[in-house]
Amino acid sequence: MAANSPPWLSACGASLKRPLCGRDAKPLCLLAEGLAGADLAASEPPALLVGGGRILALGQEALDHAEADPAIARQALPGLWLCPAPLDAHVHLTLGGTVDANLERSQRAGLAAVRDLGHAPNKPNPRTPSGGPPWVVGSGPGLGALGPAGSWLAEGLSGSEAFRLAAEARARNGSGVIKVFATGLLDFEHPGQVLHGEAVGLAELSAAVEAAEGAGLPLAVHASGIPAVARAVQAGASSVEHGFFLDRATMRAMAQARVSWVPTCAAVRAHAQDPEGRHTPELRKQLAGIYQGQLQALAVGEALGVDLVLGTDAGSYGLEHGAAIFAEMECWLEAGVRPVTVFEAATRRAARLLGLEHSLGSLKPGAQAWLLALPGDPRREPLTMARPTWRSF
Ligand SMILES: [Zn+2]
């Protein structure tokens, strides 16, 4: 806890933490300066009733409960805003350290959940650490092409039947999302080009979508370049991961089909910044150009109404788990994306993409009481989420 904690924190001190988080927690009514991520009329008081580790009521209803029941403690939070903890919709827990260390970093950064999108087939699936946070929604090893067009984070497959069977197997094994690697990596030396842009065809993608839908799961597609992203949209993917080098027509198709876009800008910025000196100066320049292009596309995507969701590719070069989400927010703000969109993309929209909208990503009755208390409205300044005054978990 910060040394300059406001008076109300020192008044209730560490005891506030357990009552909010534990299942046995007694009801507590919090009256904040404001609530972000709540569907509450402006005329309602910014009050939140929590208990048993969950949000029980909001607004006037929360105050009415506290009024009627003297056993409910009240806590004023002058000057502080409450919001739900953010989620990272694209990480690789097996990369950039051990899975346990990466989950610990994610917890320390205040993430409510992460979506783990692919690992080498010989590794076990990362799981939620005893109750979380963070909750882990994982794909298991991805589904990719055979040979050099495939990904080392995927099982190499050939033909639509193989994609269908692999997707069904992932669903049986507890995956919360099916991941297809439909293209290779960006061709850093040739901006605008993608390695193995035709790695996975429409028939394979469609078979994977059908199997995923049959199991009630979303399908996330790693794809960059217009043809591959257009195929993912046509096949019925739930989300496009990365999606570099897109034009307006492709983004418009994504908006119309309600395909979410996780643009992972910080991953390319990290390559351009090159903290370990892996690249030549010439290549760093190319990478900076790719990064700027993605920022421009992101701004267009927002204007066209694409469902932008915040995810990072944490675990890839120069991107630490947990902290990566704030790096990604910085990129979006640099692109000129509206702060409220950045906030929504990291909370409500991410929770919806992860299938966790009833529990995470917004302040509503029944949701987890994983809360941040901030010195301002995160819909105006989303980066305040990186340095909360206090959090409940
Ligand atoms: Zn990735």
Q: How far is the CA of 229 from the centre of ligand 1 (A)?
A: 15
Q: How far is the CA of 315 from the centre of ligand 1 (A)?
A: 9
- pTM above the 0.75 mark? yes
Q: How far is the CA of 132 from the centre of ligand 1 (A)?
A: 22
Ordered by where they begin, the domains of the chain are 7-84+361-391 (2.30.40.10), 87-353 (3.20.20.140)
pLDDT digits (tens, 9 = 90+) for 89-119: 999 999 999 999 999 999 999 999 999 999 9
Q: How far is the CA of 117 from the centre of ligand 1 (A)?
A: 6
Confidence of residue 24 (pLDDT cuts 50, 70, 90): low
Distance CA 274, CA 268 (A): 10
Q: How far is the CA of 94 from the centre of ligand 1 (A)?
A: 11
DSSP three-state, residue 54: strand
Measured N-to-C along each axis, helices 324-335 and 339-346 cross at an angle, to the nearest 10 degrees, of 150
* Identity of the residue numbered 374: L
Segment 127-144 mean pLDDT: 94
156: enclosing H helix or E strand? strand 154-157
374: enclosing H helix or E strand? strand 371-374
Q: How far is the CA of 22 from the centre of ligand 1 (A)?
A: 33
Contact 127, 117 (CB under 8 A): no
pLDDT digits (tens, 9 = 90+) for 262-318: 999 999 999 999 999 999 999 999 999 999 999 999 999 999 999 999 999 999 999
